[in-house]
Amino acid sequence: MANKVPSSIVTVAALGALSGLSSIATSIFTLLERNSLSYQIKTDYTRTELTSIAVMVLIVGVIQLLLANALYNGSKGVRLLYSIFAAGNLAFGIWGAIVLSGSQLATSVMGATFGGLVLFLLHTSKADAYFDKK
């Protein structure tokens, strides 16, 4: 079958979807905690800054979910965009792992882990061959 999607791309799309969901969860937890003075002191961000960060992370998560689904088309442009968003998810996850705690820390670590793994899998030789054929 010439049009069969390799299992590595299916894995990337699944992990990417999980990474996007993790970003969304992190943003929701941050939005819920942003009014807490102890949370603001712990993160060293104001309520407004936490809101802005949470909204950015939410947008990245939603776009990442959309791009994960679009990877099945084999578009090099989608691959590039997805790589950029996975790198952003990795960066936001590392930030969260440094400044957050509790459930926010767990979702941040998960997001960073999935983001890094997705970046790795998206640029393997099998992935290169799949995207070069399209």
pTM: 0.69
Give the CA-trace dihedral at 100, 104, 109, 111, to 10 degrees: -130
CA 45 to chain centre: 22
The confidence score (pLDDT) of residue 2 equals 54
What backbone torsions phi and psi does residue 36 show, to the nearest 5 degrees?
Answer: -75, 125
Label residue 111 exposed, middle or buried (CB < 10 Å: 0-12, 13-18, 19+): buried
The confidence score (pLDDT) of residue 1 equals 45
CA 111 to chain centre: 6
DSSP conformational letter for 2 = T
Contact 23/64 with Cβ under 8 angstroms?
Answer: yes
Provide the residue-wise pLDDT of the chain in tens; the chain has 134 residues: 455 788 888 888 888 888 889 889 989 999 998 999 988 888 889 999 999 999 999 998 898 888 888 888 888 999 999 889 889 889 988 988 888 877 778 888 988 998 898 889 888 888 888 888 86
